[in-house]
Amino acid sequence: MTWIGNRFKFLFRSTKGLILVAIAFAALISAFFGLLSGPMADYGIKDVVVKALNIDLQPAEREGRLIALYHTLAMVMIAVEVYMITDLLKMKENQRLSINSTVTIGYLMVIFGGLPFAYWGHNWVLHGIYIAGLSIIFFAGCLLLVALWPWQKDLKLKDKEYAHTRRGFDLERVAFFMVALVTLISAIFGAVPGSFFGNGFESFLAENVVREPHKTALDLSVIGHLHIMLALIAIMCALIIGRWMDFKGILHKIAMPLYIFGSFVLSMGTWLVVKFENIAHAIIYGGSTIAMLGALLLVIFSWKKLIREGLEVKGIRKGNFFQEIAALMRDPIKFGPTWQMVFMNFTVSGIGIFTAVKLDEVFRQWQFMDERSLLTGHWHILATLTATILLLYYADLAGLKGKARKWFGWLVIIFSDVAFGAVTIYEMKRLIVAEGAQQPLVNRAVLAGDIGVITLLVALAALMVWRLIDLFKKKGRWTVETDHRLDKKEEVKK
């Protein structure tokens, strides 16, 4: 029993163990449900899996299934962010434990209630477990908000290198608090219409109603909810990476107000969609631009830091351009997260702004199916790129070193970028090629996308298998990591 007990303690009580379990669930869910769509469906694998596992794919319930699946994956990734936040930011130990345990119970209920309900037929007990899981995660968010309260006297900053108020309160903590607060409020914008439509069992995907001229308040609420939640998860991710990189100095002092103000304005914009659809988009662009400027400052800071550290390792005081590039890319695990943020501008933000500017002139001249393909690709890339950033951070926490660290880091960066670049070309294909002649381009984009995603999943699987093997070792890494904490900056500074 001790054998199991010790490992259970690592997996469900330590931060690194909790993150490992959540990422393992995300990997398993992505790999399994990936068998039911895209190329796996094209090549008949879906049919085999559906038959072998007696999956119940009622045609009228597809949208509901997808909503359950998306929410499940989102809750797992939110749990990962919560574990990181509760360790990276100071809070009472009992707060940390109660938040972590609450969010863990919540996402496990979402997985084991929601997915069987969605894919193996209706059982209202399972649906109840799913909804209760979502509610528990919301409650964990409320606990987190209390724990993050920034205006605590004992949390005043002593190191003035970090952004702070005149009275010494930590502005980075305010940013975490603000993003957590607007995330919780934005969740309500999904929960209210979800309750209304869900109780009537009338689910719909936001991308299916974008051209409807008369949307109800509940329709708009769902659209706003979808837009904001992914953006806020991405902003929280940028804050976490900033903490990991020990973001400080003048850029930190400029970036934190930008994050705080940007996430608030962005959220306001999406909430206002419900009442003032006409002006909401302008506010959303304003807010997201401000928040993105904060992320840009993080990128500048971290790249300068990586170059400095890389040159130091080589014993070079001042390097030339190529030496600096080599220093920047020396450690793909550290370089990757901020590179992915830059890459996000090409595949998500840039495309989003271009689409908004040319909406009537170009994209609304396409048939709806093509516009929907663009929207779906856009949200998928944003979500998955954010996940790769967290994955790279976890690879560092998991202790990947040497060649394995380089291979894993570069595989994740290169092949995720190949995949998302290919998806971007696929979703914008109507700009490049006529509909009737698109198949060769589609084939190349799909091939590149498949190679990218499969390699990414294989790299992730290798990391998980490595950690699984470690769990069977008497004195594996897990024995040390059980008491590891992420918070203090020692991990960052080494």
Residue with smaller CB distance to another protein, 279 or 480: 279
Min dist. Cβ of residue 42 to another protein (A): 4
Residue with smaller CB distance to another protein, 175 or 222: 222
Residue with smaller CB distance to another protein, 5 or 200: 200
Residue with smaller CB distance to another protein, 361 or 490: 361
Whole-number Å distance between alpha carbons of 456 and 463: 11
Given a contact cutoff of 8 angstroms between Cβ atoms, the answer to whether 419 and 446 are in contact is no
Residue with smaller CB distance to another protein, 59 or 315: 59
SS (H, E, C) the chain: CHHHHHHHHHHHHCHHHHHHHHHHHHHHHHHHHHHHCHHHHHCCHHHHHHHHCCCCCCHHHHHHHHHHHHHHHHHHHHHHHHHHHHHHCCCCHHHHHHHHHHHHHHHHHHHHHHHHHHHCCCCHHHHHHHHHHHHHHHHHHHHHHHHHCCCCHHHCCCCCCCCECCCCCEHHHHHHHHHHHHHHHHHHHHHHHHHHHHHCCCCCCHHHCCCCCCCCHHHHHHHHHHHHHHHHHHHHHHHHHHHHCCCCCHHHHHHHHHHHHHHHHHHHHHHHCCCCHHHHHHHHHHHHHHHHHHHHHHHHHHHHHHHHHHHHHHCCCCCCHHHHHHHHCCCHHHHHHHHHHHHHHHHHHHHHHHHHHCCCCCHHHCCHHHHHHHHHHHHHHHHHHHHHHHHHHHHHHCCCCHHHHHHHHHHHHHHHHHHHHHHHHHHCHHHCCCHHHCHHHHHHHHHHHHHHHHHHHHHHHHHHHHHHHHHCCCCCHHHHHCCCCCCCCHHHHC
Min dist. Cβ of residue 126 to another protein (A): 21
Min dist. Cβ of residue 214 to another protein (A): 7
Min dist. Cβ of residue 118 to another protein (A): 15
Whole-number Å distance between alpha carbons of 61 and 65: 6
Residue with smaller CB distance to another protein, 125 or 437: 437
Residues that bind another protein (CB under 8 A): 41-42, 58-60, 62-63, 200-202, 211, 213-214, 277-278, 359-360, 364-369, 434-440, 442-444, 447-448, 451
Residue with smaller CB distance to another protein, 132 or 209: 209
Q: How many CA atoms lie within 13 A of 380 on its CB side?
A: 22
Min dist. Cβ of residue 203 to another protein (A): 9
Min dist. Cβ of residue 211 to another protein (A): 6
Residue with smaller CB distance to another protein, 32 or 368: 368
Residue with smaller CB distance to another protein, 1 or 369: 369
Whole-number Å distance between alpha carbons of 390 and 85: 12
Min dist. Cβ of residue 204 to another protein (A): 8
Residue with smaller CB distance to another protein, 173 or 215: 215
Min dist. Cβ of residue 62 to another protein (A): 6
Min dist. Cβ of residue 389 to another protein (A): 24
Min dist. Cβ of residue 435 to another protein (A): 5
Given a contact cutoff of 8 angstroms between Cβ atoms, the answer to whether 408 and 400 are in contact is yes
Residue with smaller CB distance to another protein, 188 or 418: 418
User: What CA–CA distances, in Å, run from 426 to 3, 333, 386, 421, 432?
Assistant: 50, 28, 20, 9, 10
The closest of 34, 104, 348, 279 to 96, measured between CA atoms, is 104
Min dist. Cβ of residue 350 to another protein (A): 22
Q: What is the DSSP letter of 318?
A: S
Min dist. Cβ of residue 45 to another protein (A): 12
Whole-number Å distance between alpha carbons of 205 and 308: 47
Given a contact cutoff of 8 angstroms between Cβ atoms, the answer to whether 486 and 18 are in contact is no
Min dist. Cβ of residue 140 to another protein (A): 33
Residue with smaller CB distance to another protein, 17 or 332: 332
Residue with smaller CB distance to another protein, 138 or 196: 196
